[in-house]
Homo-oligomer: A and B are copies of this chain.
């Protein structure tokens, strides 16, 4: 059995589960070796490479879950939108989506036809991983919409938010299509063998609660409730979402991810008690070295207290300068400190 699934299914796990957002990535020399030979896009579109980089952190860190190596724009590329991941910039779409006519460029996803490499990777991974669960993932409608509307990563999302406030038909059309596309993508990941899913709303934290509730929550709910019958834990996460935690739970999450800006005990008060939690360790503290990382880990364990529905994780992705040895030490420490 899996401590990760135990913790998220109301069972008492043998110890607190641990995984790290962006655990597959540049902090690992073995990942950088692969990326020296293959572009990011190649890794995502080649099952053997996807499998290898997804497994690397499981081997290195002894984490209790793997997360599919993929990108939030993958399903959007799969239906034919020419989103390009440009080095040093991020996802770029040269002709952004801003009108009702543009919506036709976003057709429904046929998962196994449009993105066969994703589901092939999942099947291979589930075989390799044995008892270690695989987390599927997708970007949430708002975050995807921001990339498609801005045409490139944006700090302030001003064009996205202007369209959101002034073009209700385009907004509803785009977010609805994205919600269905993301739901289809996540369902297919679960059918292929993923044991849980994480919906990343990377940019939700740029919205006030009132705007989130009106313009975003209905579409994230459409994604999450479309998985109601599948009986897999649904993790919902964004950064800078301290004021949105309750609303992100209300969208249909079984687990809400918490960044490091909110003290864990405060976050817990904002999330309904029947919803589990994940995260909260400042990703920079593991860059600082083993001593500060373990001290911060103990501090966080104290704030979590005796609950067994928390998934230990950083409050955002692993930063490239992180020493993998420090992450491995954190995993061991959490396992030991929480063993029953």
Binding site for B on A (CB under 8 A): 156-158, 161-162, 165-166, 205-211, 240, 242-243, 260-263, 266, 282-285, 287-289, 291-292, 299, 319, 321
A156 touches B284 (CB 8 A): yes
| Minimum C-beta distance from A159 to chain B (A) | 8
A284 touches B205 (CB 8 A): no
Max chain B Cβ within 10 angstroms of own Cβ: one of A207, A209, A261: A261
Partner of A158, one of B156, B161, B319: B319
A292 touches B240 (CB 8 A): no
* Residues on B with beta carbons closer than 8 Å to the beta carbon of A243: 242, 261-263, 266
| Oligomeric state, in copies | 2
A285 touches B165 (CB 8 A): yes
* Residues on B with beta carbons closer than 8 Å to the beta carbon of A165: 285, 288-289, 292
A261 touches B240 (CB 8 A): yes
* Residues on B with beta carbons closer than 8 Å to the beta carbon of A158: 283-284, 287, 319, 321
A289 touches B211 (CB 8 A): no
Bound form: Cα–Cα A291–B266 in Å: 36
Max chain B Cβ within 10 angstroms of own Cβ: one of A166, A240, A263, A321: A240
Bound form: Cα–Cα A3–B158 in Å: 31
